[in-house]
């Protein structure tokens, strides 16, 4: 207990100075609780207000894929240049050292497309207690608007949002694009707005034409989904365009861990997201750094 002996009587009350009116810097999050804001601040850098998420939860969808054959070797060298790891609980527990102290986007939906290539019938794969145990900064749930399993995926999302709201853990709504689903601006405008209105605090979606309309119309931050592997210059251009058009970050997997130099690519992406690099500057940086990281 603080020792009362020697306490100095309070005297400066700054009665002419209004109390701190901290406008919280994450879009649409002014009215959430302190704990949720603190977790959002683990995700979105307070200076740039953006985030670089490295996704390596692919194993639950496609098994081992090029670049992720060994999670324990592929991911740890890249964490110094990212803000958040997006992963399954199994991947994190098995392959990431517990002294890792940055953000965790815990993949909480679970399913399989083995039977009929339809991933839309997922379940909630992690209960809230394990998300808390894993120190999740947010919980990620895939939503399949327009697919056969859309209703069950929305049910997974809203149940996760409700549980997260009880404990101050934000939910990341991942806009899925199954094989039979469209990838148009009209679809993404609808799906992102729907998932935000259901209560997700962060939305992850793909780049498309008129992307600035999607980020403007969404009341919470949009994070760009990387998608399939592109040539490094094209991936950096996509990243630059998305940030320029209002995305508050990127969540990339294959375009980082399948790059020719994964570390140089991570750094190049971070320069666009946090340091205002153009795609040209970032690609020049990537080419200079290739093989030297
Ligand atoms: C699938 C996903 C996966 O979680 C993963 O993040 C995909 O990463 P990338 O497409 O950048 O390889 O979001 O919907």
Q: Is the CB of residue 148 less than 8 Å from the CB of residue 142?
A: no
The domains of the chain are located at 34-39+47-258
Strands 249-252, 51-55: pairing kind: parallel
Other CB atoms within 10 Å distance of the CB of residue 56: 25
Q: Tell me the best of 55, 153, 235 to mutate to test the pocket of ligand 1, counting ligand atoms within 8 Å of each CB and taking the most.
A: 55
Q: Which atom of ligand 1 is nearest to the CA of 226?
A: 11
What integer pLDDT is reported at residue 117 of this predicted model? 80
Residues contacting ligand 1 via CB (< 6 Å): 55, 57-58, 86, 142, 174, 176, 225-227, 251-255
Rounded distance, CA 288 to CA 249, Å?
A: 24
> What mean pLDDT do residues 49-67 have?
94
Active site residue 27: no
pLDDT in tens, 179-203: 666 789 999 999 999 999 999 999 9
Select from 3.40.50.1820, 3.30.43.10, 1.10.260.40, 3.20.20.70 the CATH code of 34-39+47-258.
Answer: 3.20.20.70
Task: State pLDDT tens for residues 240-255.
Answer: 999 999 999 999 999 9
- pLDDT computed for residue 39 by the predictor: 98
Please tell me the distance from the alpha carbon of residue 23 to that of residue 6, in angstroms, as a whole number. Answer: 37
Helix (H, G, I), strand (E, B) or coil at 165: helix
Average pLDDT along the chain: 95
Regarding predicted confidence, which is higher, 159 or 292? Answer: 159
pTM: 0.94
Q: What is the pLDDT of residue 62?
A: 87
pLDDT one-digit tens code per residue, 59-115: 998 899 999 999 999 999 999 999 999 999 999 999 999 999 999 999 999 998 888
Closest C-alpha residue for ligand 1 atom 8: 253
Work out the end-to-end distance of the chain between its first and last CA atoms, rounded to an integer number of angstroms.
50
Tokens of 266: 């991570």
**Distance between CA atoms of residues 267 and 131, nearest Å:** 29
Distance 79 CA to ligand 1 centre (A): 17
Active-site pick, 27, 204, 229, 267: 204
């Amino acid at each position: 207990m603080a020792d009362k002996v020697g306490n100095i009587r309070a005297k400066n009350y700054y009665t002419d100075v209004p109390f701190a009116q901290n406008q919280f810097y994450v879009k649409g999050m002014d009215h959430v609780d302190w704990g949720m804001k603190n977790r959002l601040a683990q995700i979105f850098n307070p200076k740039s207000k953006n985030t670089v998420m490295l996704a390596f939860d692919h194993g639950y969808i496609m098994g081992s894929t090029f670049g992720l054959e060994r999670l324990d070797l592929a991911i740890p060298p890249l964490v110094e240049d990212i803000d958040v790891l997006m992963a399954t609980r199994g991947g994190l527990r098995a392959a990431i050292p517990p002294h890792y102290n940055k953000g965790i986007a815990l993949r909480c939906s679970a399913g399989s497309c083995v039977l009929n290539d339809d991933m839309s019938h997922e379940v909630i794969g992690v209960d809230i207690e394990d998300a808390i145990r894993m120190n999740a900064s947010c919980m990620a749930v895939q939503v399949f608007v327009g697919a056969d399993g859309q209703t069950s995926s929305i049910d997974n999302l809203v149940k996760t949002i409700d549980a997260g709201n009880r404990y101050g853990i934000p939910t990341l709504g991942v806009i899925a694009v199954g094989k039979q689903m469209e990838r148009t601006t009209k679809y993404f405008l609808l799906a992102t707005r729907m998932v935000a209105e259901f209560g997700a605090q962060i939305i992850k979606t793909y780049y498309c034409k008129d992307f600035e309309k999607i980020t403007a119309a969404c009341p919470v931050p949009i994070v760009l989904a990387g998608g399939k592997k592109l040539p490094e210059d094209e991936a950096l251009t996509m990243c630059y365009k998305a940030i320029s058009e209002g995305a508050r970050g990127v969540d990339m997997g294959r375009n980082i861990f399948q790059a020719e130099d994964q570390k140089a690519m991570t750094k190049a992406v971070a320069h666009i997201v946090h340091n205002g690099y153009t795609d040209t500057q970032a690609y020049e940086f990537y080419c200079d750094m290739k093989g030297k990281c």
